A and B are shown apart, each in its own frame.
Chain A
Amino acid sequence: MITPQDTAIGQASVIYTRPEEDCLLIRLTGGWTLKDGIPSIDEFSQQITGNGPIRLIRFDGNDITRWDTSLLAFLTRIIGDARQQDMTPDLEGLPEGVRRLLGLAAAVPPQQDTGRVTGHTALLAHIGATTLNYLQGAPEMARFLGEVTLSFGRLLRGKAQFRRADLLLIVQDVGPHALPIVSLISFLVGLIVAYMGAVQLAQFGAQIYIANLVSIGMVREMGALMTGIIMAGRTGASFAAQLGTMQVNEEIDAFRTLGISPMDFLVMPRMLALILVMPLLTLYSDLVGMLAGLFVAHTAFDIGTFEYYHQTVHSLDLRQFAVGISKGTTYGILIAFAGCLRGIQCGRSAQAVGQATTSAVVTSILFIVVAASLLTIIYQQLGI
């Protein structure tokens, strides 16, 4: 039922009066709801700065028709300001519920000395703190690398504890399940390399060399690189998310308290899986890329299939494959390393898992690009 009073609820309003020389009376009326916003206290500030000193602040809340947290927020600001300026707020005239809630909010003083620095920090201090934070990452990474190495040692001596079934499951997940996306990307990259090259080569009438360009390009660089990038996004992220969630659920702690090394049990099978799978995926990507080259050469530049095949076989030898596959395997190790590192480092919240996943992908891609450059230079210098 709607009573006349309900329909008469007006906007919140505040009237300031000075019944006595050193006393400010604040009259609150109307409906105070959060959806109408919280009135500003600017006028209050003006009232207390002008017109001589005020020692007492009284309230009259008899005409408040309804109220919620907006009234509390307004009053908290006023009371805070008043106390700061040595004025005494007298809450007597406020509705009883309001007085009780204000009492509750003031009952427990804010915890001091929580070890958290709040407030604004200077730009230089911020840059310094961020840099220190980054530098802290280096020893952590080194420690993880050490643990991985030790774990590998145990694996080689047959002492590492993990379940063979886990390894097979991970191999299935990172290998066969990745074939569709690897096929698509490799085919498209092969296509791009072939077209880009062919347009230039056609100017010299040397279209047949598309075969050389594509086969050398795919086998030595692009096959491994594209597979690496796909696996960083697909598998590196998945490793980080799995291990990160296990960290959140205390599952990794459960391994540790039992004296089972999470390195042996969780990280090793993941590294092994990628070491096993990456060479195969790289090889597969090479083949698909070369097929794309053939497709372009045949359809757009009228080169015969046999001709193309012949040219390809002549341009390649096992060395080229060794270069590509060694790169692919290196990327695999780096992806597994980055994914597991970020997963194990993960904090204990849902947000931390998200950060770990992002960071795993970023770290993997960074590692891959750096490794790709280094390896290319090294192989060139060695004349391989």
Chain B
Amino acid sequence: MTPEQNPQIPPDAHITVRDLSMAYGDFVIQHDLNFTVHRGDIFIIMGGSGCGKSTLLRHLVGLKSPAKGQVYFDGLSFWEAGQEEQETVKRSFGMLFQSGALWSSLTLAENIALPLGEYTELSPAEIGEIVSLKLALVGLAGFEEFYPSEISGGMQKRAGLARAMALDPDILFFDEPSAGLDPVSSRRLDDLILELRESLGATIVVVTHELASIFTIGNNSVFLDPETRTIIASGDPDILRRGCPDPKVRSFLNRGET
């Protein structure tokens, strides 16, 4: 179904979430979530610890099916689509996991080469070139033959990003990108995210509670509340900081000072 046919979905929407409820068994984590991510947005999913941010991300990337509601990509309802269509949609994703989630039995080069080998017709030599290029983009040129366990946590994260970018995805998902990084590396990662949006035109969805990142990179956001278990604010984080009517959100965005 195209966006034109579905009156619920705005025409420039890239990801649309409608009435989404998430649950583990009988325990509802968040209910009735509604939001739209536009093409080229850097969209922040924020909220206190344990409110279900990462779970929401797992629903968006198709790792966990919703208890209720729909997720649309360019108007296509992911959970109503057939397996083939789902696979096609997934191929337009890149995801950076919280811990990097590099495949530990493969070298960095093999990690990045694997999706390229699976989904492109490139020759091994061409794949090698692309691998080096992607690693260079994240500042890891020369580390091709290292195993994930041989490099630091920050480097693993950057290598994870290089892998997420391997297929030049339309949408990049980041799960807590700055967790466990020092302030300088964290800042560099933010710059990289901005650069990716500018140069690739990718839509970027970030789960984070790092205030500095939220204001530097985000241009749209939702705030998940652990008590009412739904979205209590959405929009540009800068505007929310100054003018959000909900004191909980203002307090969060101002580090507890109101």
Contact = CB atoms under 8 A, between A and B. Distances in A.
Nearest to B86: A259
Interface hub of A114, A249, A255, A259 (most chain B Cβ within 10 A): A259
Interface in A205-253: 245-246, 249-251, 253
Given A254-B101, A257-B173, 4 more contacts: A115-B27, A251-B102, A256-B63, A260-B118
B3 interface: no
Contact of A115 (B26, B91, B98, B163): B26
A115 B24 contact: yes
Contacts of A245: 104
Closest 7 CB pairs of A and B: A115-B27, A250-B101, A259-B90, A254-B101, A250-B97, A259-B87, A257-B95
B93 A257 contact: yes
27 contacts: A114-B27, A115-B24, A115-B25, A115-B27, A245-B104, A246-B103, A249-B99, A249-B104, A250-B98, A250-B99, A251-B103, A251-B104, A253-B97, A254-B95, A254-B97, A254-B102, A254-B103, A256-B62, A257-B63, A257-B93, A257-B95, A257-B173, A258-B90, A258-B91, A258-B115, A258-B118, A260-B118
For chain B, the bracket of interface size reads 20 to 34
Nearest to A166: B105
Interface in B22-45: 24-27
A255 B98 CA distance: 15
Interface of B: 24-27, 58, 61-63, 87, 90-91, 93, 95, 97-99, 101-105, 114-115, 118, 163, 173
Contacts of A257: 61-63, 90, 93, 95, 173
Contacts of A254: 95, 97, 101-103, 163
A58 B145 CA distance: 69
Interface in A243-289: 245-246, 249-251, 253-260
B97 A259 contact: no
A376 interface: no
B83 to A, nearest CB: 10
A183 interface: no
Interface hub of B25, B58, B115, B173 (most chain A Cβ within 10 A): B115
A255 B97 CA distance: 12
Contact of A161 (B98, B118, B173): B118
Contacts, number: 52
Contacts of A115: 24-27
A246 B104 contact: yes
Contact of B101 (A114, A249, A259, A260): A249
Contacts of B27: 114-115
B71 to A, nearest CB: 14
Nearest to A260: B118
Nearest to A261: B87
Contacts of A114: 27
A157 to B, nearest CB: 16
Nearest to B64: A253
A253 B102 contact: no
A260 B27 CA distance: 30
A140 to B, nearest CB: 14
A321 to B, nearest CB: 36
Nearest to B23: A115
A250 B57 CA distance: 13
Contacts of A256: 62-63
Nearest to B26: A115
A235 to B, nearest CB: 16
Contacts of B98: 250
Contacts of A246: 103-104
Nearest to A113: B27
Contacts of B24: 115
Contacts of B58: 253
A352 to B, nearest CB: 15
Contact of B63 (A249, A251, A253): A253
A360 B131 CA distance: 37
A253 B101 contact: yes
Interface hub of A245, A246, A251, A256 (most chain B Cβ within 10 A): A251
Contacts of B101: 249-251, 253-254
B189 to A, nearest CB: 18
A101 B26 CA distance: 36
B204 to A, nearest CB: 15
Contacts of B97: 250, 253-254
A260 B91 CA distance: 9
Contacts of B95: 254, 257
Contacts of A253: 58, 63, 97, 101
Contacts of B118: 161, 258, 260
A259 B114 CA distance: 12
Given A115-B25, A249-B99, A250-B99, A260 B115 contact: yes
B171 to A, nearest CB: 11
Interface hub of B24, B87, B101, B104 (most chain A Cβ within 10 A): B101
A249 B100 CA distance: 8
A166 B114 CA distance: 13
Nearest to B90: A259
Contacts of A161: 118
Contacts of A259: 87, 90-91
Interface string A103-120: 000000000001100000
A255 B87 CA distance: 12
Interface string A305-320: 0000000000000000
A374 to B, nearest CB: 35
A111 to B, nearest CB: 9
A300 B87 CA distance: 67
B104 to A, nearest CB: 7
A270 B97 CA distance: 26
A259 B86 CA distance: 8
Nearest to A116: B27
